[in-house]
Chain A
Amino acid sequence: MEKQINFICNDNAISGKMNPAITVLDYLRTVKKLTGTKEGCREGDCGACTVLLGSLVGNKVKYKSVNSCLLPLNSVNGKHLVSIEGLNIEKLSFIQEQLVDEGGTQCGFCTPGFVVSLVNYFLNHNNYNLHEAVTSLDGNICRCTGYAGIKRAIENTISFLGNNSAKDNIEFLINKNILPKYFLEIPKLLKRLNAQLETKSKKSKTSKFLVSGGTDIYVQQRDTIHSSNIEFVAENRSEKTIWKSGDKIYLSGNLTVEEFRESKLIHQYLPSLKNHLLLFGSLPIRNRATIAGNIVNASPIADITNILLVLNSDVHLHYEKKKRTIPLIKFYKGYKQLNKTRNELITAVSFSIPKSKSLFNFEKISRRTFLDIASVNSSISIKTSANVIEDVHISAGGVSPVPLYLRSTRKFLLNKKISLENIKHAVKIALAEISPISDARGSSEYKSLLLRQLFYSHFIKLYPQNFKHEEFL
């Protein structure tokens, strides 16, 4: 099923009927013969395929790094797609030069991806620092360099750039020999393009898959998705993706994890989430992965779901004329079995604004701290008054067939004092609620033990004054 797609690929306007389901990786490499973008894994885990996607926001273009191996061609419609070839300047850009001179490249297979991710960092920040820049490379794997040369290259680039006081990042980076000049023309071109764009996507009853970010489904259906009939549900976005209404916060289903993480509204009520969510995937994955996708994916370790469970969230579903709302805790019926029909769409998720005294914490342990799926994760939202628990919600992921809400544990803890004895007792109840299995993410014995420790960690972090560390040993 072909579709009219119009976009700018590096410095070329492209328009035509194309298969919207093929990945941008395949499009670049096999159709455009732009082979600088590499395939290392086809599952979002290596970053060799990283490209930039620029969208017009007002008069400016906002760029994001994404994994082209999981990116449907449909998503570039109306956008500026930038591959490594589109970042090359006549000789070497400053970043490229630094990578070469500091030993930031060896076999070179990962290098284009690193260059793209680094340009993305410099495009999206004004005050540069090494730590943040390194964090933004959480989606790029290099098997050769040990990253030391890459870090030196970043340090040198940062000191070369100084702080960017210029209003326009793009102009600044062009002057500093980091971006090619044609970037200045892109806003104009995109505006022209967007004016011609058909925004209404044809709904098809025969579509086999709903796709939002595609970060889950493009992994699961890797070998066949390109020939599938897909309904792309996240592309038509209204401005309203996260909003307050009454005493509730609403997240649209197509809100991306990174937008959630960066939301000012969320910072106001759940300030720690900004850091916690760095443990979710990588920046390019977070730039695509959506809230709805995370819920429907129904993985027992789904991080966003784990968090939303303790915020006592509601899921808002919609199909044709039918709308309904159900509590998230009722959404899962069994392993990957949902309280949802096939074509029902999650339009939004909502939760009550956390009360001023309530505390929140999220814990996630995986084999590797970043860009990894949890062995076990757990969230807690708790409100105490004079050391007595007035309300509490706790979730546990990776320890049962579904993202688990610990009902009995909550029941036990309600109206109890925050004491070592009660917490230890609560752990016993929690461990009876779970049914972990041994798999590549750990043995069941480990997962049980880990959940206990995460449970302790919640209380040590949220009530540091109440406990001495040795009490938990």
Chain B
Amino acid sequence: MRSYDSVQHAKGESKFVDDIPIPEGTLFASVYYSPIAHGKIKKLNFSQALKAEGVISIISASDIPGENQIGGIILDEELFAKEGVHYVGQPIALVVAENKFTAINAVKEIEAQFEKLPTIFDPREAFEKGELIIPPKIFSLGNVNAEWHNCDYIIEGSVISGSQEHLYLETQGSLAFPVEGGGIKIISSTQGPTAVQKIASRVLNLPMNKIEVDVSRLGGGFGGKEDQATAWAVMAALAAVKLNRPVKIILQRQDDMRMTGKRHPYSSDYKIGLNKEGKILAYEVNYYQNAGASADLSTAILERTLFHSTNSYFIPNVKATAYCCRTNLPPFTAFRGFGGPQAMFVIESAIHKAAEVMNVEPTYIQTKNLLKDGDEFPFGQINKNSRAEKCFDEAVKRFEFEKKEKEVKKFNEANILVKKGIAAMPVCFGISFTSTFLNQASSLVHVYTDGSVRISTAAVEMGQGVNVKIVSIATRTLSINPDRIKIDTTNTSRIANTSPTAASKGADLNGFATRDACNLILERLKKLAAQILNAKDISQIELMDEIVYLNKVKTDLDWIKLINTAYMKRISLSAHAHHATPNIYFDRENMKGDAFAYHVFGTAIVEATVDCLVGTCSVDSVKVVHDFGKSLHPVTDKGQAEGGIVQGIGWMTLEEIIYDNEGKLLTDALSTYKVPDIQFAPAIIDVHFLEDVPNPYGPFQSKAIGEPPFMYGIGAFFAICNAMKAFRPHKSIQYNSPLTHEKVLLWLHSEK
């Protein structure tokens, strides 16, 4: 089955926000933002900027009819800074003009004076100064302190993981226009239409029913448009309401990079205890999360870090503490993995360090500790349907890990300036929003009299293929040709109170809802068919490939006839269904609960080469055995895996966010912030679908896929480390990502 969206993309016919024909009289806006990291606004002077020809208005905090507040979880973020600024890039005002360049150039004419205040950029410094957004969160299992003395090895260390820019190829943007009756329609590139609606309602002081948010698709999101698409949508709406004209904001790439939050950098300390056999007995870890200037989603991300502190391993005694540290940087936000990758990088670093100390291969420790059915996670959930060992074993066997390891050794003996390394990376990722209430969705299905079907759900299509998966679910439920089905835009007037499309849950939640809505219609149709065919019971009726079967015998009643009859008989051909994931809960008092509907498992084998003369490295291959469940759309799932892997390698080895001493982003363009290109991507990416692995908790036994593969990229870090160690076996490595060419060369050739 071909994805409709993909076909449109290939022809360049998909409409993104900036491609939608604009209404007559549309104005364009550009944001003026803080040039300093912390301070008081002493003076703002718009007069020069307002003089420029074509400038219509400049909007700032004082123009807000409602609350100047866009915080989601915690109310700590202004739409426009009013008195003080807390990071470079914080929006202060919006210039609205007749055309884009006029707005952009007028922004440069705004004069402002600030009184600078002290700044903090480092999370540990924030921690020391008591700048915590919420009190520390702790997960614990067993008793670490009682266990250390049983350990043969205790290893301690620190780990740093860097930030990451989403670099969705479509920058943030929105188009808002006033509608009859004082309402507003907002077209936004957002993963969270309801968040936009809710915050717009708060800022504009309008009831939610006067605000319609519509999303066709996103040119990439990756979490960057979960919470942080809201500001631009609300600004456009505010300007549109104030000026009573359509207003469009499309961020220039540099503005987007400077103003929006990225993946949270973490600085962490770990202590790991093992016995001689390589069994991990105790693990204690402290995470210092750099949250940036306001909470955004940081607290939820912090929690997911704790959920994944032990990755794919069972550790009987765990104490994991996480600190949400406020700094003067743009609020860091959701990014594929949502705090999970940061946690996994720490535990893997601990294992690799332990292997070095114990003089064993890291896989020796990894295999000894993989999760089994019945093992308890640090948050109390019991592991079920575990495929941790199955994936690891299958990967080792299928990709001949031991043979490859020997080849690498041999290669390294024969070569002086070029070294190779290999590493295995298991991943276990929990599926569900850990805020239980978000695990709900709904779907609205209409069947038209020509037999065609239109479906609306809460899910936003951003390249992850949720639309094609919903088509697949509807096709299978209704047993009709996929060409009859059209997925509608995501719209708050059709589907209310949506959860953001995030946490890899889009297809699960909305898929189930769609299945249920289709079933409602199907039941009615079957009942009708039973009447027409004089069947006693609807269990005698089946619909297969658009044909009605009676007692498994084909009849001449088909989909079209059935639909038409239903219509003539005044039977509803529309249905709305709501789905809520059953049996999950999380008790935040005790930090315990069955937080996840299920887990996704897999293992990657990664090989890398380092040119030790000049410090360049390349990831040669990533080979994965992944538990996809029964895939709804294998092309999509494979693509998600491949894309996640490369993005993960980018995070670990290439992409570096650099701020200067004043908190100004230096890597604020694609010329300085480098993401994987086609020649950087590993020559071999081999994704093997683990076979025969149904998942009773996913629609049609499928599994979520968006986030988990990202974390295979962590394996690249260790493969490169292993190659580096082959060059200098006795030097100890700092686990500090990204492992850039610079870090590699300095490690290889300097004494420090």
Contact = CB atoms under 8 A, between A and B. Distances in A.
Interface of A: 29, 33, 35-43, 45-46, 48, 83-85, 88, 92, 96-97, 99-103, 105-112, 115, 134-135, 137-138, 140-151, 219, 223-224, 226-227, 363, 365-373, 375, 439-443, 445-446, 449-450, 453-454, 456-457, 460, 469-470, 472-473
Contacts of B636: 103
Contact of B614 (A88, A109, A151, A457): A457
Given A137-B678, A457-B613, A469-B417, 16 more contacts: A36-B11, A38-B170, A45-B669, A99-B6, A103-B642, A106-B464, A108-B10, A145-B639, A146-B646, A147-B677, A149-B635, A365-B614, A366-B674, A367-B742, A446-B742, A473-B416
15 contacts: A40-B169, A42-B253, A100-B3, A100-B10, A107-B463, A108-B5, A109-B168, A138-B677, A144-B639, A368-B677, A375-B742, A440-B667, A440-B672, A449-B749, A450-B745
B161 interface: no
A143 B169 contact: yes
B362 interface: no
Contacts of A446: 742, 745-746
B532 interface: no
A146 B18 contact: no
A470 B101 contact: no
A109 B220 contact: yes
Q: Lowest 8 CB-CB distances: which A-B pairs, in order?
A: A36-B12, A108-B9, A107-B463, A109-B219, A146-B646, A106-B463, A103-B639, A84-B12
A135 B680 CA distance: 11
Nearest to B681: A147
A20 B740 CA distance: 42
Contacts of A83: 12
B643 A109 contact: no
Contacts of A100: 2-3, 6-7, 9-10
B741 interface: yes
Contacts of B3: 100
Nearest to A439: B666
B12 A375 contact: no
B613 A144 contact: no
A317 to B, nearest CB: 29
A376 to B, nearest CB: 9
A227 B462 CA distance: 36
A366 B742 CA distance: 9
B647 interface: yes
Nearest to B671: A45
Given A367-B741, A450-B615, A469-B417, A110 B169 contact: yes
Contact of A111 (B9, B616, B656, B680): B9
A251 B166 CA distance: 42
A141 B101 CA distance: 26
Interface of B: 2-3, 5-16, 18-19, 21, 101, 104-105, 166-171, 217-222, 252-253, 416-417, 462-465, 613-616, 618, 635-636, 638-640, 642-647, 654, 656, 658, 666-667, 669-672, 674-681, 685, 740-742, 745-746, 749-750
Given A146-B676, A370-B677, A453 B10 contact: no
Given A106-B465, A141-B169, A367-B654, A134 B678 contact: yes
Nearest to B461: A107
Contact of B104 (A148, A223, A366): A223
B416 A365 contact: no
Given A223-B104, A469-B417, A368 B654 contact: yes
Contacts of B678: 134, 137-138, 140, 142, 147, 150-151
A153 B6 CA distance: 13
Contacts of B169: 38, 40, 46, 48, 107, 109-110, 141-144
Contacts of A42: 252-253
B427 to A, nearest CB: 16
Contacts of B667: 440
A457 B6 CA distance: 46
Contacts of B221: 107
Given A38-B170, A103-B638, A141-B670, A223 B12 contact: no
A111 B614 contact: no
A46 B165 CA distance: 15
